[in-house]
Amino acid sequence: MDRFVVRSSGPLSGEVRVQGAKNSALKLMAACLLTKGTSRLENVPAISDVVIMSEVLSAIGASVERQAGSETPERAPALLINVPERCTPVAPYELVEKMRASFVVLGPLLARHGAASVSLPGGDDFGSRPIDMHLRALGALGVEFTTEHGYVEGRCDRLTGARVVLEYPSHTTTDNVLMAATLAKGTTVIENAACEPEVQDLAALLSAMGARISGAGTSRIEVEGVDELHPATHVTVADRVEAATFFAAVGLAGGDVHVLGARDDHMDMLLEKLTLMGMELEATGRGVRARFEGRLAPVDVATLPYPGVATDYKPLLVTMLSVSTGVAIVSENLFAGRFRYVDELRRMGADVRTEGHHAVVRGVERLSGAPVRAPDIRAGAALVLAGLAADGMTTVSGTEHIERGYEDFVGKLRAIGVDITRVAAGPDAGA
């Protein structure tokens, strides 16, 4: 089993560039199914989740090609996604079960073909995330669903615009309904919509394709359906969670790092929490510069829908708080079971007690290097960073989870001074 091997590092220094947002790129790829022809998506990260989504699109009938050699240093090579006149509206189990985000092909397939068969999703193991909201919301547009043999089957004539009220501002449900509504007859209003920058990014691509959308980025999105869309070119928004990962590295190891491409206006609440912990964060026009020395101060954290603290930030914050100077309470309000990585932190000497949706974190002066396992993308990254504030060597297995969301994870961390290597499986691994 491959491992990341990390040793205490710091202070960190230099520049590191943020990739395109994973949580946007996957939805942008799905949106290309709404029209025939070739769309160009720039700044799409080279991560395994993008590979999986490419395979999902290929199974449906599209072709996905990563262009090479013609991009600027600031952006990753583009993806060219060519979609035929008719797709095969089936997303197979062996692909969808690997990644929950692939469920967002449901809306585009129903909108364009009036039919879709999509496997029930899999993905990171941090609790149940039911698809009922997707089905109810798309049902309001006229889709009839059945579920059998592990697949959701949807059928409809042309979708019809409606008022859709989400019981919770789900990001992926908002994306699915937003995409479907672009080709519906009449006007769709999504109430209690998710407001994330990635939703705004999706709306920007859809608008470039000819959709008529207003209100993206607010809790009320209005979509006036059109008869057809056309291919477009779009630059993926910066990944705010990757930016947060680099900020956390500075908080744990100390130093001065310029995170190029980071958008401070997409991370207001996170930056406020980090500032209260003692970090200095400065928007530069090219990104955000993060500085820190000493020990972090404790601060209470509660995850909330955007613009609150995102649940993806929480493992990073818990790790930072584990070496703070006091006691903090962290509350998870979005997903059950997302404290499962805490046992791994405890193996490194962290003093964290969990009960239900809450964790009490008592800071210790130093952690202790230990073998740990990444349970999901963000917790895995946090465990790697924990090694920066730990005596001795930390080995993190489960690298495949981390590489679902981070491009060149080792290379970027090494560039700012982190002592990290990737060790392939073998009898001498980790030696």
**CATH code at position 178:** 3.65.10.10
Say which amino acid occupies 2.
Answer: D
| Relative orientation angle of helices 197-208 and 22-31, to the nearest 10 degrees | 30
Task: For residues 39 and 162, state if they share a domain.
Answer: yes
Torsion, Cα of 426, 427, 429, 431 (10° steps): -160
Task: For residues 42 and 79, state if they share a domain.
Answer: yes
Q: Which pLDDT value is given to residue 253?
A: 98
Is 97 a member of any domain? yes
What residues make up the domain containing 305?
3-18+238-423
Is 60 a member of any domain? yes
Q: Cα angle at 176 between 172 and 180, to 5 degrees?
A: 170
Task: For residues 123 and 205, state if they share a domain.
Answer: yes
Task: For residues 40 and 155, state if they share a domain.
Answer: yes
Q: How far apart are CA 207 and CA 176, in angstroms?
A: 15
Could you tell me if 299 and 277 are in contact, meaning their C-beta atoms sit under 8 angstroms apart? yes
Please state, in angstroms and as integers, the Cα–Cα distance from residue 330 to each residue in 69, 274, 361, 404, following that order. 45, 14, 8, 26
> Cβ–Cβ contacts within 10 Å for residue 128, how many?
7
Structural domain ending residue among the three candidates 235, 251, 277? 235
Q: Residue 391 region, left (φ>0) first, then alpha (ψ -120 to 50), else beta?
A: beta
Collapsing DSSP states into helix, strand and coil, what is residue 279?
coil
Query: Could you list the pLDDT tens digit for every one of the 431 residues in the chain?
Result: 899 999 999 899 999 999 999 999 999 999 999 999 999 999 999 999 999 999 999 999 999 999 875 556 666 679 999 999 999 999 988 888 888 788 999 999 999 999 999 988 754 443 444 688 999 999 999 999 998 888 899 999 999 999 999 999 999 999 999 999 999 999 999 999 999 999 999 999 999 999 999 999 999 999 999 999 999 999 999 999 999 999 999 999 999 999 999 999 999 999 999 999 999 999 999 999 999 999 999 999 999 999 999 999 999 999 999 999 999 999 999 876 678 899 999 999 999 999 989 999 999 999 999 999 999 999 999 999 999 999 999 999 999 999 999 999 999 999 999 999 999 986 554 43
Task: For residues 60 and 205, state if they share a domain.
Answer: yes
Is 189 a member of any domain? yes
Q: What is the pLDDT of residues 57-104, one digit of tens each?
A: 999 999 999 987 555 666 667 999 999 999 999 998 888 888 878 899
Task: For residues 36 and 159, state if they share a domain.
Answer: yes
Task: For residues 193 and 224, state if they share a domain.
Answer: yes
Give the bridge partners for 83, in sequence order.
Answer: 37
Say which amino acid occupies 267.
Answer: M
Is 429 a member of any domain? no
Is 187 a member of any domain? yes
Question: Who's near 68: CB < 8 A, 6+ residues apart?
Answer: 77
Is 125 a member of any domain? yes
Is 356 a member of any domain? yes
